[in-house]
Amino acid sequence: DKIIKVAVAGNPNTGKTTLINAIAGTNLHVGNWPGVTLEKKEARFKYRDYEIHLIDLPGTYSLSNDTAEEKIAVEFLIKEKPDVVIDVVDSTNLERNLYLTVQLLELEAPLVVALNMWDEAKSKGIDIDVEKLEKLLCIRAVPTSAVKEEGIKELLDAVIEIYERKEKPKCVLHFEDQVEEHIKGLIDKIKEVQPILLDLYPARYLALSLIEGNTSFIDLSLSEDIQKYVQNVRKEIEKLYHKDPVTFIVEERYSIIISIYEQVVKKHVVKSVDIT
């Protein structure tokens, strides 16, 4: 059988554990992430002609390496390179959950979104255009309800589809043109003076992290050329937008998210039934 290594990512309380239980049932093995008291759940099971290895990542709101949970998730994604990443989102709170999704795309994770809590979204009158979301993000998205064990087979079929896919989707969620030029310039600089960094880390995640000053995941010392280049990009961003670079990048991600959210989510008024 072919082995598919699957990481399960998502914000806290989106239903990751419930989903893994629904998928893996009794195959679940619970341990700890090395060095910390965070629970690590793993499961191995057969599905179709495949052996699927599931690993539950700690719940995180972002991948900025600010917390132990984020460091573990980022290190796992970069070093272990799972074949597929399931991003479990809370469908009733898509706007907030998409921040992590956008960062997972920056990390070039082979992604499928599980639109979990689909039952709750339905009863709240939240209508998500799944096909449009897939098109805008350039990835698969599957409605699931972990508590009701719905959408599980469709999700696993999507996992296999991503694993078997020969080409990576070539979608990039673009920031403002001027910033994109700085990002491209920085990546070119890295290619020129310290190309090994691009063998170790996904280019866009690396460039954005350098600009954000999020460098604790980088194991090598950075060449002085790159450091100078980064300082210059940061100054340019401040000059252009009158914002510090971290705020600026976070806001760019949110403006992408808001645009996607407005295109895919419709809210209906749900009539409450009067039982008195």
Q: What is the binding site for K ion (CB under 5 A)? A: 13
Long-range contacts of 79-82 (CB under 8 A, 24+ apart): 80/5, 80/7, 82/5, 82/6, 82/7, 82/55, 82/109, 82/110
Note whether 261 and 95 are within 8 A (CB): yes
Q: Give the residue with the Cβ less far from Mg ion, 115 or 197.
A: 115
Q: How far apart are CA 269 and CA 267, in angstroms?
A: 7
Q: Least distance from C-beta 124 to K ion, angstroms?
A: 20
R_g (Cα) of the chain, nearest Å? 20
Position 72 contacts ligand GDP (CB under 6 A): no
Q: Least distance from C-beta 232 to ligand GDP, angstroms?
A: 40
Q: Least distance from C-beta 116 to ligand GDP, angstroms?
A: 5
Position 10 contacts ligand GDP (CB under 6 A): yes
Short-list 111, 29, 17, 117, CA closest to 57: 17
Q: Least distance from C-beta 113 to ligand GDP, angstroms?
A: 14
88-127 binders of ligand GDP (CB under 6 A): 116-117, 119-120
Q: How far apart are CA 155 and CA 167, in angstroms?
A: 20
Q: Give the residue with the Cβ less far from ligand GDP, 38 or 193.
A: 38
Q: Give the residue with the Cβ less far from K ion, 19 or 257.
A: 19
Short-list 184, 202, 210, CA closest to 109: 202
Position 16 contacts ligand GDP (CB under 6 A): yes
109, 146, 230, 257: which one binds ligand GDP (CB under 6 A): 146
Q: Is 223 exposed, middle or buried (0-12, 13-18, 19+ CB in 10 A)?
A: middle
Q: How far apart are CA 210 and CA 186, in angstroms?
A: 9
Tell me the residue nearest to ligand GDP as measured from the CB: 15
Position 18 contacts ligand GDP (CB under 6 A): yes
13-52 binders of Mg ion (CB under 5 A): 16-17
Position 28 contacts ligand GDP (CB under 6 A): no
Q: Least distance from C-beta 183 to ligand GDP, angstroms?
A: 32
Residue 213: contacted member of Mg ion, ligand GDP, K ion, none (CB under 5 to 8 Å, by partner type): none
Note whether 107 and 117 are within 8 A (CB): no
Q: 28-52: string of b/e by CB count within 10 Å (b at 16+)?
A: beeeebeeeeeebbebebebeebeb
Q: Where are the alpha helices (DSSP H) in 194-223?
A: 196-200, 203-212
Position 14 contacts ligand GDP (CB under 6 A): yes
| Number of residues engaging ligand GDP in binding (CB under 6 A) | 16
Residues that bind Mg ion (CB under 5 A): 16-17
- Which positions lie near ligand GDP, rule CB under 6 A? 10, 12-18, 59, 116-117, 119-120, 145-147
